[in-house]
Structure 1
Amino acid sequence: MLLSEKIYIEYNNDIEFTEEYVKVNGKKISNEEKKDNETWEQVAIRLRGEALQKHLKRQYENTIVLTGAGSSFGVGIGDKKGKLMSGLWEEAVNKFGYSHLQDFCNKINFKEFKPKNETTNLEFLLTHAQLYQYVTGDTDVEEFIKQLRNMVKESCTLKLPKNSAHRKFLRKLAAKKTKYARPKVFTLNYDTLFEQAAEKNGFMIIDGFSFNFPRKFKGTNFDLDVVTRITNKNVLEDNFVPNVVHVYKPHGSVNWLAKNNEVIISDESEDPLMIYPSSNKYESSYQQPFFEMMSRFQQETRAKNTLLIIVGYSCGDAHINAMIYEALSVNSSITIVFVAPNIDAEDQYEDLKKEVSQTGNVILTKQTFEEFVDSYPYSEIYSSAKWGSSDE
């Protein structure tokens, strides 16, 4: 018996396939649906693309993107590329050695340390170590926590490669009527790939930091916009400048630095302001500027006629999850497109699948970040971008 692969889940429009057929809503489609020499997989992918286009081509007043580690995974230059949480543990083993990590876990009485062929949860380890250090005041433990944090920072200091999906995605997001709200990217990643993409595209970023140097964070900076003012004695008119994107980083960034009770942008930061992977990051989200970012996310998901694209996010953050489901309960005009390469996993996305069966505004599509960007529609009508070379 051939196992089918489900690649698209929507209310009254599920798509799955094997080598021998495609099913839509559990019913096999006829051979007449094939075009030219398509395989059944190609038919399924085409049908998924057509279904997605119906949602993505709509004119939304508010477009929001939430990205997690999946949008950075494998992105970078040379050997230094974005990692998932399991990859960060492998990095720790390579850097510090399995035996040293085992000794450290024994010292702090961490019981969740795994055998060599399994992945230890770095979130739980860091949380346990921080609690142990807080209670005991052990300076050796404190020092090793710093080393682990440094490793996370170094692993997330990435350079954007040529022809990146990040650049292409921002171009497509920005190609919309300027009368609508600016596209907003909420990235839970510490890296600066979206910022680099915007810079290479010649886009302007509103990220909560001032335009003067040193760039200081102030929440009200998100309320600023960029216009071209045309003034003569007969006309006074403000025209919104195209290619402006908002970037929010609810978990911080490798180039944020807390200094003199302020948060500034600094590439020289040895101790960047980040909510490191730990199970108490929920509590950390109530500190500034993280609280400002989360408040903005909640505010934007409540806006009318909103498209929320969630890509590369594993649903591992309770705070974020609560806001997503809250938006579904209070905002009937929101459309959520959830992008992940494993939507057919049995347990991970069960709550979202229940929402699909109960509402008509949640879509799950089985794609990587790069695949989704390629399938995202681009409107040349509303684009006035002057982009740099793709080889930059």
Structure 2
Amino acid sequence: MAFDTSVFSQKELKEAVNKLEELLSHSKVVLLGAGASFCAGLPLTNQLTDSALRSDKLSNDSKEILNAIQNSFVGASPASHIEDYLSELVDWLAITTRRSNRNVDGSKVTISGIEYSNEQLLKAIDEIKLAIFDVINISVDSEIHERFVQALHRPIRPGKDSHSGTIDYLVMNYDTLIEDSLALSKLRYSDGLEGGVSGWWNPSAFEQNNLDARVFKLHGSINWAEHPPSTTPLRIATYLKRSQQQASKIMIWPASTKYRETQLDPYANLLHRARCALNPQGGSQRVLLIAGYSFGDAHINLEIERGLRSSNGNLTVIAFTSDSKPTGILESWYNNSAINEQVLIFANNGFFHAENEIISEKNIEWWKFENLTQILEGGV
């Protein structure tokens, strides 16, 4: 459905768009969640969950474990999803691993009355990753994402001066749409891997001069694999025989787990760089643009709030949400007088910024990634 831009005949909403354009002339960080990939043909989190749970990659043990975990989340608000279940599994794995490493006799854990070993949990995690890989590893349309990155890396309005500098992309998704779109747009970027179709993890690649973008894959990527003895990512060309083992060692990890935080690279390195991106130094102004994200990752929410509080007003958050008005953590920030001047919320039925509240009777739908892209291109 085409974007109904007639809603911007309301003067206050048009002024909100002008404010957006003005802010995006500053140094930028972009945070993207699953909603940003939907227009390209990839599933939303709930759709990914349904498809993964039906996958033929899952053994009976894995299905039993997942069913037990899913039942434990009945009544969750917001609704639980596959990353929650994977997080639970990883937490159980941390317990069994710790017990096994200490040679404890009773190293198994009990889930819904059934005991599972460290090996069974590892197998279940690998199978779930394979299921996720199968759902996401499909043909997609990168047109909107190419337009999105091109709009961010050039002046939004012709004739307006805009020096985008290096843009940091904090990507929550496992897909490679942003990397592909940057490359196809001839924008120099680093995702922490060097090489080409095949590559290896080298975080110093983020330090290269003259980069247009840095991409921090905070939950890993479907084209990253772990090949022992190394525990850091490799990207293996699909036509190489080694790639046949890649799917079982996919380096993706869920949002809410402490287990991966104990790994120095790549997770801790990426999180550290994200933290630095959200904490501008030396009085410089930085804008964080958030799209397609449901604020379900407590770690990331904490880092954003920490950035808001510690930046002395130099970090501004622009958040797009499909909710009619601020809810959850966005409502908390909106009602917090210590930071709400730094938070602009573009909701489905209004614009909310500190004391400024603009309500629309129509659905604005500027939160849809394709519509936001049109706005960034100056199409409003």
TM-score norm. by structure 1 comes to 0.69
Distance 1:325 1:99 in 2: 41
3-state SS of the aligned residue for 1:186?
strand
Distance 2:66 2:199 in 1: 43
- Partner residue of 2:193? 209
Matches within 5 A, 1:8-87: 41-44=7-10, 47-58=12-23, 60-76=25-41, 82-87=42-47
Structure 1 position 85, deviation (Å): 2.4
Distance 1:206 1:103 in 2: 38
Matches within 5 A, 1:139-150: 139-140=119-120, 142-150=122-130
Do the aligned partners of residues 357 and 53 (structure 1) sit closer, same or farther apart at CA in structure 2, a change above 3 Å counting? Answer: farther
Which residue of 160, 171, 174 corresponds with 1:187?
A: 171
Q: Which residue identity does 1:252 align to in structure 2?
A: G
Structure 1 position 326, deviation (Å): 0.9
Do the aligned partners of residues 102 and 255 (structure 1) sit closer, same or farther apart at CA in structure 2, a change above 3 Å counting? Answer: closer
Distance 1:181 1:143 in 2: 44
- Partner residue of 1:247? 215
- Partner residue of 1:305? 285
Structure 1 position 201, deviation (Å): 1.8
Distance 1:317 1:211 in 2: 31
Mapped contact 1:130–1:145 kept (Cα < 8 A): yes
Do the aligned partners of residues 112 and 327 (structure 1) sit closer, same or farther apart at CA in structure 2, a change above 3 Å counting? Answer: same
- Give the length in aligned residue pairs: 315
Mapped contact 1:160–1:197 kept (Cα < 8 A): no
3-state SS of the aligned residue for 2:189?
strand
Pairing 1:166–2:145 present: yes
Higher helix proportion, which one?
2
Do the aligned partners of residues 66 and 158 (structure 1) sit closer, same or farther apart at CA in structure 2, a change above 3 Å counting? Answer: farther
Do the aligned partners of residues 186 and 356 (structure 1) sit closer, same or farther apart at CA in structure 2, a change above 3 Å counting? Answer: farther
**Unaligned ranges ≥5, structure 2:** 97-106, 109-116, 156-160, 238-242, 348-366
- Partner residue of 1:339? 320
Mapped contact 1:308–1:334 kept (Cα < 8 A): yes
Do the aligned partners of residues 179 and 89 (structure 1) sit closer, same or farther apart at CA in structure 2, a change above 3 Å counting? Answer: closer
Structure 1 position 114, deviation (Å): 5.0
> Higher mean Cα deviation, 174-183 or 90-99?
90-99
Distance 1:194 1:113 in 2: 32
- Partner residue of 2:260? 284
3-state SS of the aligned residue for 1:194?
helix
Which residue of 258, 262, 271 corresponds with 1:294?
A: 271
Distance 1:361 1:110 in 2: 37
Cα deviation 1:274-300 (Å, max 9, x = unaligned): 3433632x4414521121111111112
Structure 1 position 93, deviation (Å): 3.9
Percent of pairs identical after alignment?
20
Structure 1 position 51, deviation (Å): 1.4
Cα deviation 1:358-386 (Å, max 9, x = unaligned): 5322111132122111111569xxxxxxx
Do the aligned partners of residues 356 and 264 (structure 1) sit closer, same or farther apart at CA in structure 2, a change above 3 Å counting? Answer: farther
Distance 1:216 1:98 in 2: 29
- Partner residue of 1:375? 375
Pairing 1:353–2:334 present: yes
- Partner residue of 1:229? none
Distance 2:261 2:171 in 1: 14
Mapped contact 2:26–2:286 kept (Cα < 8 A): yes
Do the aligned partners of residues 249 and 173 (structure 1) sit closer, same or farther apart at CA in structure 2, a change above 3 Å counting? Answer: same
Mapped contact 1:172–1:377 kept (Cα < 8 A): yes
Pairing 1:122–2:82 present: yes
3-state SS of the aligned residue for 1:86?
helix
- Partner residue of 2:302? 322
Do the aligned partners of residues 327 and 258 (structure 1) sit closer, same or farther apart at CA in structure 2, a change above 3 Å counting? Answer: same
Do the aligned partners of residues 203 and 113 (structure 1) sit closer, same or farther apart at CA in structure 2, a change above 3 Å counting? Answer: same
Distance 2:26 2:194 in 1: 26
Do the aligned partners of residues 85 and 319 (structure 1) sit closer, same or farther apart at CA in structure 2, a change above 3 Å counting? Answer: same
TM-score norm. by structure 2 comes to 0.71
> Higher mean Cα deviation, 247-256 or 141-150?
141-150
Mapped contact 2:126–2:249 kept (Cα < 8 A): no
**Unaligned ranges ≥5, structure 1:** 1-37, 77-81, 227-240, 380-392
> Higher mean Cα deviation, 171-180 or 263-272?
171-180
Cα deviation 1:240-266 (Å, max 9, x = unaligned): x8xx32211111101112233242222
Cα deviation 1:205-246 (Å, max 9, x = unaligned): 2222224684222222111024xxxxxxxxxxxxxx8xx322
Q: Give the alignment's Cα RMSD to 1 decimal.
A: 3.5
Mapped contact 1:65–1:184 kept (Cα < 8 A): yes
Mapped contact 1:93–1:101 kept (Cα < 8 A): no
